[in-house]
Structure 1
Amino acid sequence: MKAKISLVTLGTRDFARAFAFYRDGLGFEPHNYTEGEDFCMFKMEGTWLALFPRAELAADAGVEDDGRPPSGFALAHNVGSPAEVDAVFAQAVAAGAKPQKPPQKTFWGGYAGYFADPDGCLWEVAHNPFTDLT
């Protein structure tokens, strides 16, 4: 099997709110989206991000939607400098993200902060001076 993540789908409680956060707040461009649909994909570098109603995602996967926000993982957006971390973090918070951990020097020698999207999905914004993940 090829080691690759092709698509990350986030289950949303309020699709319109999540769509506005990612499209208008963070500036992600929708791909083949028609107004009024409840599914959207955003093309990104190396992978895709999708939004889908949480209950429908759970039903599709055959699991129960327990209503809790996900906390066992974080999506990460790596940038080229600590100043860029601060800028992206501020943009996300201005768009409605909940700050979880403000950007700061990390134990591993980088610089990072965490925010939660409107559905509670964690995002890390980081600068890694040792490995270019941008």
Structure 2
Amino acid sequence: MTLAFNFIGIVTNDLSASLAFYRTLGLDIPEGAETEAHVEVLLDGGMRIGWDTLETIRGFDPAYELPSGSHRVAFAFEAASPAEVDEVFAKLVAGGARSRVEPWDAFWGQRYATVMDPDGNAIDLYAPLSVS
């Protein structure tokens, strides 16, 4: 068997809000994509990330229900510096993202913070505290 993990899919209640959030994180999502039922972009390294509206998913899985409770998946974005972690965190929160974990210096040697995307997925921001 030759499987290759190369796609992450996000089901969203509000495609416009989700795409705006991920654009703030630096993803190159084409303008106007908000009008589509399915959007995907190719990331550096060959991985793809995509978004489907709830209606799109229910089009082939009518019984689909959004999960409830705490997040089940976390995505992590590496920043160039600890200061960038703080800057991006502040920008996302100012834009309406919910703070989960304020920036802190983790014992494993990273500046770390967590915000929630518009659909309740955890987004970790991190950078090494020092360069080796």
TM-score, normalised with respect to structure 2: 0.76
3-state SS in 2 of match to 1:5: coil
Could you tell me whether the CA contact under 8 Å between 2:38 and 2:56 is conserved in 1? no
Could you tell me whether the CA contact under 8 Å between 2:105 and 2:129 is conserved in 1? no
The 2-side partners of 1:43 and 1:61 are apart by 25
Q: CA deviation at 1:72?
A: 2.3
Cα deviation code 1:50-72 (max 9, x no counterpart)? 11113533665787314426612
The one-letter code of the counterpart of 1:128 is P
Aligned residues: percent identity?
A: 27
Could you tell me whether the CA contact under 8 Å between 1:31 and 1:40 is conserved in 2? no
Tell me, yes or no, if structure 1 residue 91 matches structure 2 residue 66: no
Q: CA deviation at 1:3?
A: 8.2
More divergent stretch after superposition (99-108 vs 31-40): 31-40
Q: 1:14 to 1:32 in 2, by over 3 A?
A: closer
Q: Structure 1 regions of 5+ residues with no counterpart?
A: none
Q: CA deviation at 1:80?
A: 2.5
The one-letter code of the counterpart of 2:124 is E
Aligned-residue Cα RMSD (Å) equals 3.2
The 1-side partners of 2:59 and 2:108 are apart by 39
Q: Which residue of 1 aligns with 2:103?
A: 103
Q: Which residue of 2 aligns with 1:45?
A: 44
- How many residues end up aligned between the 2 structures? 131
Could you tell me whether the CA contact under 8 Å between 1:10 and 1:50 is conserved in 2? yes
Could you tell me whether the CA contact under 8 Å between 1:100 and 1:115 is conserved in 2? yes
Q: Which residue of 2 aligns with 1:117?
A: 117
More divergent stretch after superposition (60-69 vs 40-49): 60-69
Could you tell me whether the CA contact under 8 Å between 1:100 and 1:116 is conserved in 2? yes
Q: Structure 2 regions of 5+ residues with no counterpart?
A: none
Q: Which residue of 2 aligns with 1:29?
A: 28
